[in-house]
Structure formats: structure tokens, C-alpha cells
Amino acid sequence: MIDQPREINIQLMGKDYKVSSGLTIIAAIEYAGYKLVRGAGCRAGFCGACPTLYRRAGSHKLYTALACQTLAEDGMCLVQVPFVPVVRRPYDIEEVAPSANIILQYYPEVAACVSCNTCTRACPQGISVMDYIQTALRGDIEQTALLSFDCISCGICSSRCPADIKHYPVGQLARRIYSKYLLPRSSQLADRLDEMETEQCEVEVETMMHLSTEELRARYEQRSFETVAGRDQKHSAIQKWGTAVDPVDYRDEVEEVAY
Ligand code: SF4
Ligand code: SF4
Ligand code: FES
């Protein structure tokens, strides 16, 4: 077992603090006495509100991460990012036709991608961000929607892009067009909606209200997926479920510096 110090030293907005070890960055900031009224939300890696910028002791690099999903380390210098500005071009989804150049029409800047892959390396969700920008550029709405499915709109990719591309509205537009126009209608969903009109749904809900966490988890894991002819690719959230995912792997970026 590794001996961990009970306290670590961090720097927040230029001031030094001692905080308990084993805290996430967001918890460490609060432990130090700050009240977060911006840059915090779900605290569970879903809302994308907590991008953070930090340096590590002994490294000249600037790192990015979600503050609620990353442990504070001894020697970290931290600052919360208020938000990453994005460009949203208004559209009416009822009038956006799923044509090959539709994404380029709204977000022509994707053509400036220089394929450096910085966005992918920065993404805390482990998304192949560069790949979905490239599929968007090629007009492949389906692949753009599927590849960007797990995006939580944190904007970290956009904060690092040398071409100033604002990625997540691109994925969002593709997913909206895909679900409205291209995704085959789900018969299971239609059946379920019909059931909601009957008492059968209430009986099911009532049964579930009395199940234990383990029983609910077992049901979740045994759930079935609707398959569509010719489309066996499921979105990445399903593919990742139950696997150990560590999307933020900076091991290749942490240089071995001897001091
Ligand atoms: S960071 Fe920007 S330029 Fe680099 S691959 Fe991603 S989208 Fe393209
Ligand atoms: S694609 Fe960009 S905005 Fe979406 S989760 Fe990854 S870093 Fe955040
Ligand atoms: S607070 Fe929601 S993702 Fe971190």
C-alpha cells in the first residue's frame, strides 16, 4: 500500500494552501475556503461546468481537466476556467435539411482543422474529437453524431485548438440532425410510449420503487438493445459501459524531469 501524505500543498489563483490529500480539485478548492458559484455543477462528470487549468510540480506544461473528476496533487497550481467562449449559430431544426454540406454551412471553420489531435488529447471524456471534426468536414452526419455522443460541452477541446474551432456545437448540430432525420424510428420506444398510456407502466414503476440498488443494477445490466438492420454500431456510452475507463491519460505528456 502506498503511504499518502495527509496533506498536500497546492496553489490557487496564486495563493498557497494546505489541503487534505485524496480530494478532487473542486473539493480541494472548497476545502481551502472558496465558495464556487461558477465553474461547478453536477460534480459527477456530466455537466461540463468545471474545466480547470493547472500546472504540475516540475512540469512546464499547462494541463486541462474537469475539476470534479481529477484528484488534486501535491504541487499543483490551479485556476478555474470561467467558461470557454463558443460560437452558436442559430437554426431551426425543423428547417435544417440533412445534406452533406449542412454542418459546413453553419460551422465553416471546421475546414481549418490542421489534424494536430490536440483536441482529442485534451478531452476528459476520451472522445476522438479530431475524428468527429473530420467526419463533419466530410459531411458524414451519422459518424459525427456517434463519435461525439458522450460530449458534455465542457469546451476544453476548444480552449486548446490552434485553429480556434469550437467543437461541441458542431457535434450537437450533427446529433440533432441525426436523431431528427436519420436515426430509424425505434419500435421499442413506440411500444413504451403506448404502455405509458396504460396501467402497465405504473405497475412497472411501482415494482421498481421497491427494488434494492443491486436489483436495479442487475436489471440495468440485463437490459436489451434494439438492433437496426445494417446498423450494429451502438453509441460510445454503451460500448464503454462496465469497462474501466480512464479517459484522461496524460502519462505520455508527463516528462521525466530529474531535479
Ligand atoms: S485541435 Fe483543432 S486543429 Fe487540432 S485536430 Fe483538433 S480541431 Fe483540428
Ligand atoms: S469534445 Fe470537447 S466539449 Fe466535448 S467533452 Fe470533449 S473536450 Fe469537452
Ligand atoms: S461539476 Fe459537472 S462535470 Fe464537473
pLDDT tens, position by position, 54-95: 999 999 999 999 999 999 999 999 988 878 888 788 999 999
- Give the integer Cα–Cα distance in Å for 31 and 77: 15
Pocket of ligand 3 (CB under 6 A): 40-43, 45-50, 66, 68
Complete domains list, the chain, with CATH:
7-80 (3.10.20.30), 84-204 (1.10.1060)
Task: Give the model's pLDDT for residue 228.
Answer: 62
Task: Give the model's pLDDT for residue 240.
Answer: 40
Task: DSSP letter for 22, please.
Answer: T
C-alpha cell of residue 143: 459518424
Residue to mutate (ligand 3; options 52, 66, 168; most atoms within 8 A of CB) = 66
87: Cβ contacts below 8 Å, ≥ 6 apart = 107, 109, 166, 169
146: Cβ contacts below 8 Å, ≥ 6 apart = 178, 233, 235, 236
Residue with cell 489541503: 19
160: Cβ contacts below 8 Å, ≥ 6 apart = 64, 118, 119, 122
Residues 19-60 pLDDT 10s:
999 999 999 999 999 998 888 899 999 999 999 999 999 999
Q: Is 28 exposed, middle or buried (0-12, 13-18, 19+ CB in 10 A)?
A: buried
In this predicted structure, the answer to whether residue 242 has a pLDDT above a threshold of 80 is no
| Minimal-distance CA residue to ligand 1 atom 8 | 113
Task: Give the model's pLDDT for residue 237.
Answer: 42
Q: What are the DSSP calls for 97-160, one per residue?
A: ---TTHHHHH-GGGGG-----HHHHH-TT---HHHHHHHHHTT-HHHHHHHTTT-----HHHHH
Reported as a pLDDT band with limits 50, 70 and 90, residue 232 is: low
Task: Give the model's pLDDT for residue 231.
Answer: 61
Task: Give the model's pLDDT for residue 245.
Answer: 34
- Give the integer Cα–Cα distance in Å for 45 and 66: 7
Distance 159 CA to ligand 2 centre (A): 10
Task: Give the model's pLDDT for residue 186.
Answer: 81
Task: Give the model's pLDDT for residue 5.
Answer: 75
232: Cβ contacts below 8 Å, ≥ 6 apart = none
Residue with cell 501524505: 5
Residues 159-212 pLDDT 10s:
999 999 999 999 999 999 999 999 888 888 888 888 888 888 889 899 999 999
Task: Give the model's pLDDT for residue 243.
Answer: 37
Angle at the Cα of 155 (from 167 to 233), degrees rounded to 5?
Answer: 55
Residue to mutate (ligand 2; options 167, 170, 240, 249; most atoms within 8 A of CB) = 167
- Give the integer Cα–Cα distance in Å for 96 and 90: 11
